[in-house]
């Protein structure tokens, strides 16, 4: 109830001050300058009203900037990383809309459309997941590790990487290596 009364008072302040400014201009014009009622007096009254409204607008602009007391309300600022993620999310969602429009207008072939759409959707889901996690990096890292470990477990076990020793320095190298990773000697049949 108190909040409503102060809002009503604040909303009535501008018209009241405008009327006071117009009255001051009219009073000065009729009593001080001895102008008869007509266009010059009306313009002087409107000038007084405009002057008061300009002063009120300037006050409303400068007041929040100059206020330092405990009643000053700081706008909550999101951390820079979250703002950047939100900006990235908007860009990816816009790209998805654009690629869908291009496909609908037959500017993009269907295989390209599907590949780009999948890539953009994957990126959007990753960004949204990061936004949901917020600053709790541990949860994000754990989710990523679980995903990678489950992908590794689901993939067929690859044959053990065979190694070949360098004939020059005896350093173990991958079997498909063309040169030794330590001394640079050419490996393979044509040594």
pLDDT tens digit string along 112-167?
999 999 999 999 998 888 888 776 777 777 888 888 888 888 766 554 456 788 88
Closest to 50 in 3D by CA, of 77, 76, 86, 24: 24
Average pLDDT, the chain: 83
Q: How far, in Å, are 23, 29, 30, 43, 45 from residue 34 at the CA level?
A: 15, 6, 5, 14, 14
| Most confident listed range (67-71, 80-84, 134-138) | 80-84
Q: How far, in Å, are 61, 72, 167 from residue 182 at the CA level?
A: 68, 65, 12
- What pTM value is reported for the model? 0.37
Confidence tier at 191 by pLDDT (50, 70, 90)? very low
Distance separating alpha carbons of residues 97 and 89, to the nearest angstrom: 12
**Residue 41 DSSP SS3:** helix
What secondary structure letter does DSSP report for 162?
Answer: P
Q: How far, in Å, are 83, 114, 145, 155, 159 from residue 148 at the CA level?
A: 27, 24, 5, 11, 19
**Residue 164 DSSP SS3:** strand
Contact of 132 with 115, CB cutoff 8 Å: no
């Amino acid at each position: 109830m108190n909040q409503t009364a102060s809002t009503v008072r604040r909303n009535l302040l501008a018209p009241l001050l405008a009327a006071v400014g117009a009255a001051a201009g009219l009073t000065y014009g009729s009593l001080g300058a001895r102008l008869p009622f007509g266009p010059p007096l009306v313009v002087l009254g409107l000038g007084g009203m405009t002057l008061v409204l300009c002063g009120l607008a300037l006050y409303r602009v400068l007041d929040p900037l100059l206020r330092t007391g405990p009643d000053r309300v700081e706008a909550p600022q999101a951390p820079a990383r979250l703002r950047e993620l939100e900006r990235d999310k908007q860009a990816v969602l816009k790209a998805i809309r654009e690629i869908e429009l291009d496909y609908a207008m037959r500017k993009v072939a269907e295989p390209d459309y599907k590949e780009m759409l999948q890539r953009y959707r994957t990126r959007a889901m990753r960004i949204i997941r990061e936004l949901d996690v917020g600053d709790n990096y541990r949860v994000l890292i754990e989710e990523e590790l679980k995903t990678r470990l489950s992908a590794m477990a689901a993939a067929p076990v690859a044959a053990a990487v065979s190694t070949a020793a360098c004939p020059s320095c005896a350093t173990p190298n991958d079997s498909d290596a063309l040169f030794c990773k330590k001394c640079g000697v050419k490996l393979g049949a044509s040594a």
